Chain A
């Protein structure tokens, strides 16, 4: 875009005035190419504007640039000398990144997912199951949309998740939706609001299915008054303050979780019945097709409809009995 050229140029001009000009170039060359250039002529030949443009390309967010530079400086022979140089770069280049950092809303949180809810190994198993069964990017965009709330475009979501790890989003979702029921309801609502909602339906189903046992465990911990099975921290190394699930799941939340668990049991039973019914239906269809082969084509459909009507009548009768029992108890 034409507006970006003078901005890169102005930042380059500003950095060229720095007494650390050559060191700035060295750090940026390493960030872009992985090469530590010391040759004066080759250093002079590199255009700082190109270097800045390339830096923006390989590290498209400040969130990615900062740790890269910090890690690099720590690995140098003269980290003390290069630290202020890295700071200068970060300060100067910050204006070239989007004014409003879309990840700010989440980065301000102080959640350390691995130590808060599940032991590290179980986090990995959970993540593996999710990325094995769904598209990781769609999964991240769905979770970001749930956490962000309000109208967000696909492009905005893509930008939003670029600097956020799946693990972090997942931990946020678990902490934001204290009950399984709430999770499912919010996931379905959010998926419907997204562009290409049908592409997110499979992700919603998988996420709900994979997280069901996690919620079950959290509920169990809350009921038994246990702390989650976090990795045992070393007695001498203080853990940063983390959100504890026991703080989040209060009495009301426990009730909701219990309700969600009951709903889950029902849903599982329904799935089993429907699966069995489909099998019975297919067998009956084949049998009817054979038995009615000499009759007009739609005949077997009439009998299949008869089958469905009779099953429906049966379930209606069961529902009636249960209603009477319920009224009797109350």
Chain B
């Protein structure tokens, strides 16, 4: 079937073209709202600025297809093959991309707000500047398909309020991304780059951030209970009122970090670099600070009751009003 035949049939009221071979078809700017193209072979198809809102593209082969600027709101791409597809600046508001394969797909500046991406494979995809507010990228704790964003380029992406629970974000580039209020519990962020990212009020409890880079990231009031921060670099990050209870932050770098009123009860901060960190009124009760570097840190009115500070270096630290491990208050 060629483009003219398809458009003619569509204009006559036929909407079901499921399973058709439409390889390389050119339907730029075509009006195909609500069309059924499920299981179609659309390899290399040209669909620039096409109107495909609420279209059914379930299981369609769209590799190398060009859907730049296409209107795809509420379209169904479940299990579709979008590997290397071009979706630059497309409108995918509330689209269903669950279990879609989109490796190396280009979603630059695309609008994916409230989209369903559960179980999607977006490894190495370009999602720079994409809007994924309130998108569902969650993965089941056990079994089922996990969302893969491994090595994806998410620089400047907007993931505010997105559900990324259990997602694989290892090696992802999330520099300057907005993850305010995002759900990241049990997510895998090993070696991810989150420099200057906004993570205020995000939930990172039980997340694995080993060796991740969070230079100047904003994590104010973030939940990081039991988060793994081994060798994580948080230089100049803002963690005011963050909850790091029982976090595993051995050898982590908190250089010049702002941790005002942070909750670090039972956190493992052994060998951590907290030099020049600002920790006024921080709660470090029962924390492991063995061999931690606290030189020139501000621990004014901090609570270190029962903390293990053996071998810690706090030369030049301000401990006025701080409750020491033995219960004495520092002068």
Chain A residue nearest in CB terms to B29: A196
Contact yes or no, A132 B129, CB < 8 A: no
Residue A158 CB within 8 A of the other chain: yes
**Which of A32, A131, A132, A234 is the one whose CB lies under 8 Å from B109?**
A131
List residues 140-174 of chain B with CB under 8 A from any CB of chain A. Answer: 150-151, 153, 156, 158, 160, 171, 173
Contact yes or no, A135 B69, CB < 8 A: yes
Q: How large is the interface on A (under 10, 10 to 19, 20 to 34, 35 or more residues)?
A: 20 to 34
Residue A140 CB within 8 A of the other chain: yes
Interface centre among B49, B180, B216 (most CB of A within 10 A): B49
A236→B160 CA distance, assembly (Å): 29
Residue A128 CB within 8 A of the other chain: yes
- From B82-90, B221-229, B281-289, B290-298, the one touching the partner chain is B82-90
Residue A57 CB within 8 A of the other chain: yes
Residue B68 CB within 8 A of the other chain: yes
Fill in one digit per residue for A228-242: 1 if any B CB lies within 8 Å of its CB, else 0: 000000101100000
A236→B151 CA distance, assembly (Å): 30
A74→B88 CA distance, assembly (Å): 27
- From A12-20, A42-50, A162-170, the one touching the partner chain is A162-170
**Which of A58, A121, A236 is the one whose CB lies under 8 Å from B84?**
A58
Interface centre among A32, A139, A158 (most CB of B within 10 A): A158
Chain A residue nearest in CB terms to B124: A34
Contact yes or no, B111 A131, CB < 8 A: yes
Contact yes or no, B129 A165, CB < 8 A: yes
Q: Which residues of A contact B110 (CB under 8 A)?
A: 136
CB distance from A87 to the nearest CB of B (A): 20
**Main DSSP-derived SS at the A contact region:** helix
Contact yes or no, B198 A234, CB < 8 A: no
**Which of A121, A132, A234 is the one whose CB lies under 8 Å from B113?**
A132
Contact yes or no, A124 B160, CB < 8 A: yes
Residue B93 CB within 8 A of the other chain: yes
Chain A residue nearest in CB terms to B131: A131
List residues 113-137 of chain B with CB under 8 A from any CB of chain A. Answer: 113, 123-124, 126, 128-129, 131, 133
A137→B29 CA distance, assembly (Å): 13
**Which of B84, B91, B109, B123 is the one whose CB lies under 8 Å from A57?**
B84
Contact yes or no, A75 B171, CB < 8 A: yes
Residue A102 CB within 8 A of the other chain: no
Contact yes or no, B68 A158, CB < 8 A: yes
Residue B254 CB within 8 A of the other chain: no
List residues 27-78 of chain B with CB under 8 A from any CB of chain A. Answer: 48-49, 64, 68-69, 71
Contact yes or no, B256 A124, CB < 8 A: no
**Main DSSP-derived SS at the B contact region:** loop
CB distance from B169 to the nearest CB of A (A): 14
A138→B89 CA distance, assembly (Å): 8
Contact yes or no, A137 B109, CB < 8 A: yes
Residue B191 CB within 8 A of the other chain: yes
Residue A64 CB within 8 A of the other chain: yes
Residue A71 CB within 8 A of the other chain: yes
Contact yes or no, A128 B68, CB < 8 A: no
Residue B178 CB within 8 A of the other chain: yes
Fill in one digit per residue for A54-85: 1 if any B CB lies within 8 Å of its CB, else 0: 00011000001001100110010000000000
Contact yes or no, B178 A132, CB < 8 A: no
A111→B113 CA distance, assembly (Å): 28
Residue A220 CB within 8 A of the other chain: no
Fill in one digit per residue for A112-131: 1 if any B CB lies within 8 Å of its CB, else 0: 00100000110010011001
Residue B104 CB within 8 A of the other chain: yes
CB distance from A137 to the nearest CB of B (A): 3
Contact yes or no, A71 B173, CB < 8 A: yes
Residue B108 CB within 8 A of the other chain: yes
Contact yes or no, B198 A237, CB < 8 A: no
**Which of B89, B133, B216 is the one whose CB lies under 8 Å from A128?**
B133
Given contacts A131-B131, A138-B69, A234 and B236 within 8 Å (CB-CB): yes
CB distance from A117 to the nearest CB of B (A): 15
Q: Which residues of A contact B89 (CB under 8 A)?
A: 135-140, 161, 166
Q: Which residues of A contact B91 (CB under 8 A)?
A: 131, 135-136
**Which of B93, B104, B128, B150 is the one whose CB lies under 8 Å from A165?**
B128
11 additional contacts, CB 8 Å, given A58-B104, A132-B111? A67-B173, A72-B151, A128-B113, A135-B71, A136-B69, A136-B131, A162-B108, A165-B109, A165-B128, A167-B129, A234-B236
A residues whose Cβ falls under 8 Å from a Cβ of B? 32, 34, 57-58, 64, 67-68, 71-72, 75, 114, 120-121, 124, 127-128, 131-132, 135-140, 158, 161-162, 165-167, 199, 234, 236-237
B residues whose Cβ falls under 8 Å from a Cβ of A? 48-49, 64, 68-69, 71, 84, 88-91, 93, 103-104, 108-111, 113, 123-124, 126, 128-129, 131, 133, 150-151, 153, 156, 158, 160, 171, 173, 176, 178, 180, 191, 196, 198, 216, 236, 256
Could you pull out 23 A-B pairs where Cβ atoms are within 8 angstroms? A34-B104, A57-B64, A68-B153, A71-B151, A120-B196, A121-B178, A121-B198, A124-B178, A124-B198, A127-B129, A128-B158, A132-B113, A136-B69, A136-B91, A136-B109, A137-B49, A137-B89, A137-B109, A140-B109, A162-B108, A165-B129, A166-B109, A236-B256
